[in-house]
Amino acid sequence: MKNILVLCTGNSARSQMAQGYLQYFANRSGHGDQVQVYSAGVAPHGVNPLAIQVMNEDGIDISHHTSNHADEYLHISFDYVITVCDNAREQCPIFPSSAEKIHHSFPDPGHTPGEDALTSFRRVRDLIKPYSQEFITSRLGESKTQ
């Protein structure tokens, strides 16, 4: 079993969307029974309703996700820890794990001047999706179902 943790500051949007896509692509490739994806933050404050909405638009249901603190997962041996915002990389405590640490910063949805929040969330979702697909393909290999 491969354990993946996605970290962001608030665990409300970017990490939640990445968690949804990573698990989706693992399942779709036939590796779902070999992967468990978690998300957490250093200052969690609930899953953003716009993140739920834009993921639902793409057929991914994250409405059951919870916003968790990174400390809640200290007992899990992770294979990969992915930080998806610069603040998380800088502010996260050293995660006690032998996991491969990967950083890929995505813009903070809803905080782009001149762009409405929903458009911003869709744009960030559309950046996270191909990254997540490529991550699963490159780390787990090609689809087992082909």
Q: Annotated catalytic residue: which of 37, 51, 92, 136? A: 92
Position 133 pLDDT exceeds 60 = yes
Above pLDDT 70, what percent of the chain?
89
**CB-based contact 51:65 (threshold 8 Å):** no
Q: Annotated catalytic residue: which of 85, 88, 124, 128? A: 85
Strands 35-41 and 100-103: unpaired
Quote the distance between the C-alpha of residue 34 and its chain's center. Answer: 17
pLDDT at residue 116, rounded to an integer: 94
Q: Annotated catalytic residue: which of 4, 5, 7, 8? A: 8
Look up 92 and say whether it is catalytic: yes
- pTM comes to 0.91
Residue ranges of domains in the chain = 2-140
| Rounded average pLDDT over 133-137 | 96
pLDDT at residue 65, rounded to an integer: 97
**CB-based contact 8:72 (threshold 8 Å):** no
Nearest Cα to Cα of residue 63 among 78, 45, 81, 49? 49
Residue 57, phi then psi, degrees to nearest 5: -60, -30
Greatest alpha-carbon pair distance for the chain in Å reads 44
Q: What is 2-140's CATH topology?
A: Rossmann fold (3.40.50)
Look up 8 and say whether it is catalytic: yes
**CB-based contact 14:84 (threshold 8 Å):** yes
pLDDT at residue 96, rounded to an integer: 62
What is d(CA 21, CA 142) in angstroms, rounded to the nearest whole number?
Answer: 16
73-130: per-residue pLDDT in tens? 989 999 999 999 876 555 555 566 688 989 999 999 988 888 999 999 999 999 999 9
